[in-house]
Amino acid sequence: MDFLLGIAVLSLLIPFNMLILKIIPKIHPITRVGMLYLMLFVNMVITITWVAALHTDIKHVTPFVMGIGLATTLNMCYKVIYLLILKDDK
């Protein structure tokens, strides 16, 4: 169960990243790198807030941390796949 609670952070990370990835093409090219740093920082804040909110409900820390790690990896894979394959270059 703790592993699933760790992976559940994707329910917050993916929509935020979709929003930022939709905004990036509409802004000035110089500020795009700043948006990527913003995305990294906000993902970190969301994950830390998720861990802090659930720390009392977690019985086994190792599966929870593994779930958070897998969620972070899947989130990064989603961004890479979106930028390489799914993005419409018009």
14-45 pLDDT, tens digit per residue, is: 999 888 888 888 888 888 778 888 888 999 99
The pTM score is 0.82
What the block records as the tokens of 38 is 């913003």
Structural domain including 47 reads 2-86
Instruction: State the amino acid at position 6 in one-letter form.
Output: G
Q: How far apart (Å, rounded) are the C-alpha atoms in residues 36 and 67?
A: 24
Length of the chain: 90
**Across residues 65-77, what is the average pLDDT?**
94
Count of domains in the chain? 1
